[in-house]
Amino acid sequence: MAYIRLFSSRKDEECFLCRAAGGDDDMEKLVVFRGGTCFVILNRYPYNNGHLMIAPYRHISSILDLNEEESIEMINLLKLSIRALKEEYNPDGFNVGLNLGRGAGAGVEDHIHFHVVPRWIGDTNFMPVISDTKVIPEALHETWRRIKERFSHLTA
C-alpha cells in the first residue's frame, strides 16, 4: 500500500527519474552511475537485491525517440550493469527488459527505462503468495554503496 499511495499521490509531480537525473545527492536518489546521456539507478522498490534501472536523462517515453548516442549508451550501461552485478552478487541469471506503455505493465509510462534484475535459483518463495510480502535481505543503501563502488571500480 505504501508504494501505491506514494505513486497515486505524485500524479502531478515531476517524474522520479527526472528528479534523479537532475539531482546532486546520488545516495538519496539511489543513482549508482552517471553517463553522458543516460544513468543507472537502483530501484527503490526492488524485485530482488540489486534491481537496477537504466534511463536516459531526457524525459522520453518511446524507444523510437532515443537518439543514436542514447541508444548506444543504454546498451553499454546494460552490459556494465550486468558485469557489476555479476562481480558483486554472483547471481545465477538476470531478467532484463523494458515495459513500453501501460498495457505492457509500465509503472512509469513517460520515461523509458530498462530493468536489470539479478536472479538466483530458489529466489522465489512462499512469502509473496502467503503474506503479500517480498523479502529483500540487504538494506537498500548498503546495496547502493556496494553497486556504486563496483561501478567506480569497473569504470576507473
The Cα–Cα gap between 123 and 106 comes to 23
The Cα–Cα gap between 67 and 69 comes to 6
Closest listed residue to residue 48, CA positions, set 137, 141, 147: 137
Please list the residues that pair with 92 across neighbouring strands.
none
Please list the residues that pair with 40 across neighbouring strands.
33, 54
Q: Which of 59, 113, 141, 153 is catalytic?
A: 113
Give yes or no: 113 in active site.
yes
Task: Report CA-CA distances (Å) from 149 to 7, 41, 87, 94.
Answer: 30, 13, 11, 20
Please list the residues that pair with 54 across neighbouring strands.
40, 114
The Cα–Cα gap between 87 and 121 comes to 17
Q: Which residues are catalytic?
A: 113
